[in-house]
Structure 1
Amino acid sequence: MQLFLCDAQFEDIDLQKAAYAQFIELWESGAMAKEDKFEGFELLFRVHAPGEGRVVILCRAESDKQLFTHFAPWRAQFGIVMEFTPVMSCQDVVDAHKDLFAKLPPRSAV
C-alpha cells in the first residue's frame, strides 16, 4: 500500500467546531478507531493544530478509492480542503536511492 500525507484545512470556524463536535463523539465512543482502519486503508496518525484550523494525517491506502471512502464524508459535511501527497518511508527512500545510485555513472573527482 502507498503512504499518503494529508494536509486538511478548515476554511470556516463554525464548520470546524461542528466537525470537532462529531470527532469528539466518534473518538470517545471508539467508533473513530473502527473508521480509521478497513480493508485497503489504515490511518497511522493524525495531529491537530486547531488554532490554525489544520489537521495533518499520515495514512496508508491501496488507491484513491479508499482515500475517498474515508475522507469524502468529512469534506462533504464540513467543507474541509484536503491535499494528498504520496510519501515514502525511510526504508523505501533508502531502497529507491540505492537502486538509483547503482544506475548512475560514477561521479568524477572535482
Structure 2
Amino acid sequence: MPACIHSREDSYFEYITEGNTAVITGLKPDAKGLKVLEIPSVIDGFNVVGLGEEAFSYMDGVEAFEVDPQNAYYASEDGVLFSKDKKVLLDYPHFCASTCCFRSPWC
C-alpha cells in the first residue's frame, strides 16, 4: 500500500509515515517565507527519521537550520544541517553558496 502524505494546518511539513516513524517529504507553500527551518524530533507523535531528497529544494530564503536536540538522526551547527554524528553535511542555507564560509566540524 502506498504511503500517505500528511500535513497539519499548524505545521509547515508534509510527511509520510510508516509504523511510528515519519519522513519529511516537503514543505507546504506557505512555508516559503521561513527564515529559520526547525526540524523536530517528533511530528504528531511520529519520530522523524528521514528527510526526503528534495524536501527543502525551494527554500531559498532560509537563513538557518535548527534541529531539536532530541532528534536521533539530524543535528545542526551554525545554521547548517548535518547527520547526527556531523559526518555528513546534508543542507545549508542556499544564500551561503556564494556569500558564506563555515568550518566543517571534521576539518
What TM-score results when the alignment is normalised by the length of structure 2?
Answer: 0.26
Rg larger for? 1
What TM-score results when the alignment is normalised by the length of structure 1?
Answer: 0.26
Name which structure has the greater RCO, CA cutoff 8 Å, separation 6+.
Answer: 1
